[in-house]
């Protein structure tokens, strides 16, 4: 399944699918394979974030070489710049950015709703002012699907409302009802069934509303389901409790995607609760701020103690950065604001995240995930 581009209609006979390969009896962890228009994705999977059609500081070839099988783009940002029509005319997002594997696009709902006073929500959709030039735009569920189909997204996310935390029960109920109506409109607007369409389950931190979201949407013919509205300041304990109240109501036969999460600990704990897919800006954003994710915790490379440190950032790591460069040299690059610092740290962090996912998948295949989980938790306790 290595099609040239989603910009053409060569894959009209293809349909997305998800296959469960293993399930852990002691937890809710799952090992699966997601078949998409541009290839297969092994789950649990972490998707590097490429908001504008690029994973910051990396070439697409480098991202693939680090082990990523799918990346994330953002509909809102690509709609504003350079525009979905231009990308469509260039052969679709895959051709435009020279990425041959699957792409998931977030609907942009979170970005629109974070504009606060610059947007207005109605039954029809969201009217907003561009954060770039103040120009006015409207996104409806139908418009979002149209844009994502023009991009050629392997996984299209529906438009949803992401309520802030905390929110009143009354607000959460109204928001949830609107999100669910929008999801059904998105289904009706779909014209390219070879591209997967995922619904988003909202409901804040209310277990009853999360169950309601699942009951109303999970019987519909979506190709997968996302858990939205988490990692918005609620803390890990409440996030995990909300997951525990949500995933049991989600179909076993379709992929589960936790949006915008998270730290290595967040990911491992969410896998144990039945989640299959993740994305987060942390490995790339923190890299640009000089932070390494390592097997022994986070390292802020700017600290003075690394000035003469000849060790690699993460001893035992097999990535390009750790095989070739010392902490002292990378600290020098970071302090002098050399672009190479961002490239080296980003490359390591993405390698670390993909290696973590490989270890999780291997443990699930071997039937040793509970032992892996215990060892991971023990290591986290030592780091704290």
Q: Which residues are catalytic?
A: 106, 279
Question: Count of residues for the chain?
Answer: 384
Q: At what angle do helices 236-246 and 264-272 cross, to 10 degrees?
A: 30
Q: What distance lies between CA 133 and its chain's CA centroid?
A: 27
Report DSSP state, residue 94: H
Closest residue by Cα to residue 121 from 67, 80, 162: 162
Helices 339-366, 369-383: inter-axial angle, 10-degree rounding: 140
Residue 219 has phi, psi (to 5 degrees) of -90, -5
**Rg, Å, the chain Cα set:** 21
Crossing angle of helices 169-189 and 207-217, rounded to 10°:
20
Determine the Cα–Cα distance for residues 208 and 368; give it in Å rounded to an integer: 33
Token pair listed for 180: 């669910």
């Amino acid at each position: 399944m290595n099609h040239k581009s989603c910009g053409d209609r060569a894959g009209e006979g293809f349909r997305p699918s998800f296959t469960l390969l293993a399930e852990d009896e002691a937890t809710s962890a799952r090992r699966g394979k997601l078949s998409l228009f541009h290839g297969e994705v092994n789950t649990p999977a972490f998707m590097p974030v490429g908001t504008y059609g690029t994973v910051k500081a990396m070439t697409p070839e480098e991202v693939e070489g680090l082990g990523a099988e799918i990346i994330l783009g953002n509909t809102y940002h690509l709609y504003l710049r350079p525009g979905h029509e231009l990308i469509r005319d260039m052969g679709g997002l895959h051709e435009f950015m020279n990425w041959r594997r699957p792409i998931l696009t977030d609907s942009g709902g979170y970005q629109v709703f974070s504009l606060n006073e610059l947007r207005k929500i109605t039954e029809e959709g969201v009217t907003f002012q561009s954060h770039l030039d103040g120009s006015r735009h409207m996104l409806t569920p139908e418009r979002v699907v149209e844009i994502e189909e023009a991009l050629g997204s392997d996984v299209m996310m529906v438009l949803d409302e992401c309520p802030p935390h905390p929110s009143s029960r009354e607000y959460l109920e109204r928001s949830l009802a609107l999100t669910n109506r929008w999801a059904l409109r998105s289904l009706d607007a779909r014209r390219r069934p070879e591209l997967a369409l995922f619904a988003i389950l909202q409901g804040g931190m209310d277990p009853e509303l999360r169950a309601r979201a699942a009951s109303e949407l999970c019987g519909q013919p979506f190709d997968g389901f996302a858990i939205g509205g988490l990692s918005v300041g609620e803390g890990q304990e409440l996030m995990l409790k909300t997951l525990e109240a949500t995933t049991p109501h989600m179909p076993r036969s379709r992929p589960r995607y936790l949006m915008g999460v998270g730290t290595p600990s967040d990911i491992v704990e969410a896998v144990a609760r039945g989640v299959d897919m993740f994305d987060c800006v942390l490995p790339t954003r923190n890299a640009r701020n000089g932070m390494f994710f390592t097997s022994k915790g986070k390292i802020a490379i700017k600290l003075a103690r690394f000035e003469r440190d000849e060790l690699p950032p993460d001893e035992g790591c097999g990535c390009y950065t750790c095989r070739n460069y010392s902490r002292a040299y990378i600290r020098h690059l970071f302090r002098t604001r050399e672009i190479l610092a961002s490239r080296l740290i980003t490359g390591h962090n993405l390698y670390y995240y993909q290696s973590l996912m490989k270890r999780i998948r291997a443990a699930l295949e071997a039937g040793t995930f509970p032992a892996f989980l215990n060892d991971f938790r023990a290591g986290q306790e030592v780091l704290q």
